[in-house]
Structure 1
Amino acid sequence: MVISEPNIVSTSLPTIHLDLLRAENDTESKKLLSACRTQGFFYLDLTSDPELCKLWEGMLARMKDYFEQPLEVKMQDARGSHNYGYIPVGTEPGPKPETKDGYETLKFSRREFLKGSADLTTAVCSEADYFFSYIKHAHAITIMILERLSTQLGLTGSSRFEADHADPGPSLSTLVLLHYPKHNDSTAPTNVGHLKHTDISTLTLVLAEQWGLQFLSPDTNRWEFLEPRPGHAIVNVGDFLRFKSGGELASIVHRVIPLKERQDEDRYSIVYLIRTNDDVSFNDSTGKTWTAKEWHDFKYDVFKSPTTLDAKGQILTAMMEKNDRMVVREGIASG
């Protein structure tokens, strides 16, 4: 994909340290809140948890083995679901006109984790416990981040963010394993990246070793690449947290594109999306009331047909972007 401006690498994202958050360090928690208010993205340093970093390596190896299988084998895991099973490349529009998306996915829902079994038929089913182990870690980390944010904002009782995620739910929290296949040098790429959007999540925890993730910087109003860093996750605020905070926390528009015109290497990304319980309600920026499940289901339909269902781009980017420019967020508090 040809980019209309030189590649810009963001230098503004703060780094939050997992061990300090776990220790309830007040300075680090304040830094976390500032990042979620302004950038909407931050690096999370995981190096204090070698077990988690080793789990990352093991998941990556298992992902590669899975995605290297023939398509007909992977399609045995297709479930027609947004939350579990296999989805092939090219299901949704891509970030460039006349392209489709450039990734295939395998998803494990947290509902599967809670019941202790994955609804899959291929050999990967025997590896489900390994991915479930990561869901347990990722969910605990994201809940802890919500707890720290709630405390910093002075929230109490049922108004605390983590209260909307209490088990048994149900919720649509999901682990998504993504593979962006390397392009063939002899053909024009017709499957490219991931179109611009905000996440259908409360928080999103991303592990990736290759370049490709960009965000529309609220500081510069330009697309900026986020550097993949060893031992670091990238975490971002999702739609639910933005709306539940009355716009105080920023769900920033982002996308995935190759650094060059083509995807010149296989890109793998491990994404955990923690979502509120299905019946939790919120108001969007226009004042319309949704439940979490209603927003989730409708926005996924928009991903498949954005020009038909979302001609003004309001749902896809959760009212956070217009004409590739960030809009001014409403309701920013001084506390």
Structure 2
Amino acid sequence: MTQTAPLRTATTDAIRKAADDILDRGYAVVKLTDLDARNLRTAISTAVEFFRRPLEDKMAHGSADHNYGYRPFGIEYSITPERPDMNECFTLWSSRLDLIPDAADIDDLTGSFLDWRDSLAPLVKAVLDLVAANFGTAAAPEFEKASYLQINYCLPAPAERDLLQDKHEDGHMVTVLHATAPGLEIYPYGFDNDEVLPVLPDTDEVVIMPGSVLTALSGGKISPLYHQVRNHGLDDRQSIMYFVNPEIEEPLFGWIDSADGTRADIREAVQNAPSMFGLPPVEAL
């Protein structure tokens, strides 16, 4: 069983409010402790130094399938490959440094990511356990071995490209996000409602956004939060995400019976969700 560090990321009241906000309005904003805010800042600043390296140096730390370590521009997209996300990325799955080529040469970056992950994992567990309890389930699925951190380093975009990332949902259980500059826009009233809300967390805040895996677990009671990133012509914007996936070594059933009284195993949907963005399947590593 996955072990998480003791909860230090937010107060009990903040955890309860985050769970309630996910259930009531479809997303939550959580204020971090000073220690965890420092971990966030360090992870971002260390990654920025990495992205400023020559492309050849960065490519040396990316896997052949672009799933681990550095991912260059043009691989990941939100809707169609013809409109790639306007950023390059770095990802760290679980604690698997062995999956990143020459990871020992960038231990400052991977170390800062692991510190940030250790800040987030207890927060995620505490919030999701309260959400699960609302559906009569003792605890949310374990997630650390199947979840990953990713930072997007935005690239200059043509003025005619209105969105850096097109409207999408992330296909995970939840995404925990921090962005350093404006651009994130959410659809708080569902996919079919065109009203958008710009969201910019403070320097010590993260946004928790449900994905379609949480929708499946909750029997459709919690909708995936669709979002996009507006092009404001900025030349210095980063967003760092913790993409939280349930571990799928064993059958994974929803928290609510379907109309026929059964509960479907949703593992296949969890595993294949990244394919809609041009990425390999989810694994428990």
| TM-score of the aligned structures, taking structure 2 as reference length | 0.79
Match for residue 76 of structure 1 among 47, 50, 60: 60
Flag the 1:179–1:150 CA change in 2: closer, same or farther, 3 A. Answer: same
2: CA distance, partners of 1:130 / 1:33: 27
2: CA distance, partners of 1:70 / 1:233: 30
1:64 correspondence with 2:48 = yes
Flag the 1:136–1:94 CA change in 2: closer, same or farther, 3 A. Answer: closer
1:121 correspondence with 2:102 = yes
- AA aligned to 1:257 is R
- AA aligned to 1:53 is A
Alpha-carbon deviation of 1:300?
2.1
- 2:10 matched to which residue of 1? 19
1:254 correspondence with 2:227 = yes
1:242 correspondence with 2:224 = no
1:140 correspondence with 2:122 = yes
- 1:14 matched to which residue of 2? none
Flag the 1:148–1:200 CA change in 2: closer, same or farther, 3 A. Answer: same
**Where does 1:176-191 land on structure 2 (aligned, <5 Å)?**
176-183=150-157
1:103 correspondence with 2:94 = no
- CA offsets, 1:190-249, max 9 Å, x none? 695122221232221112121111111217641221133221111111222221111122
Partner of 1:77: helix, strand, or coil? coil
- 1:226 matched to which residue of 2? 199
Which stretches in structure 1 are left out of the alignment for 5+ residues? Answer: 1-17, 306-335
Flag the 1:206–1:153 CA change in 2: closer, same or farther, 3 A. Answer: same
Flag the 1:208–1:278 CA change in 2: closer, same or farther, 3 A. Answer: same
Which stretches in structure 2 are left out of the alignment for 5+ residues? Answer: 1-8, 280-285
Partner of 1:165: helix, strand, or coil? coil
Match for residue 267 of structure 1 among 211, 215, 237: 237
Flag the 1:166–1:28 CA change in 2: closer, same or farther, 3 A. Answer: closer
In the alignment, is the contact (CA less than 8 A) between 1:205 and 1:272 conserved in 2? yes
In the alignment, is the contact (CA less than 8 A) between 2:150 and 2:242 conserved in 1? yes
- AA aligned to 2:165 is H
2: CA distance, partners of 1:96 / 1:192: 13
- 1:276 matched to which residue of 2? 246
Match for residue 37 of structure 1 among 3, 13, 23: 23
- 2:283 matched to which residue of 1? none
Alpha-carbon deviation of 1:281?
2.9
Alpha-carbon deviation of 1:65?
0.4
1: CA distance, partners of 2:169 / 2:125: 20
2: CA distance, partners of 1:96 / 1:301: 11
2: CA distance, partners of 1:245 / 1:101: 30
In the alignment, is the contact (CA less than 8 A) between 1:44 and 1:234 conserved in 2? yes
- AA aligned to 2:187 is L
- AA aligned to 1:139 is A
2: CA distance, partners of 1:195 / 1:251: 15
Alpha-carbon deviation of 1:69?
1.0
Match for residue 206 of structure 1 among 177, 194, 206: 177
- 1:299 matched to which residue of 2? 273
- 2:6 matched to which residue of 1? none
Flag the 1:214–1:295 CA change in 2: closer, same or farther, 3 A. Answer: same
Partner of 1:247: helix, strand, or coil? coil
1: CA distance, partners of 2:166 / 2:143: 32
- What percent of counterpart residues are identical? 19
Runs of 4+ in 1 over 6 A off after TM superposition: 285-288
1: CA distance, partners of 2:85 / 2:162: 5
Alpha-carbon deviation of 1:92?
3.5
1: CA distance, partners of 2:225 / 2:20: 14
2: CA distance, partners of 1:265 / 1:241: 34
Partner of 2:85: helix, strand, or coil? coil
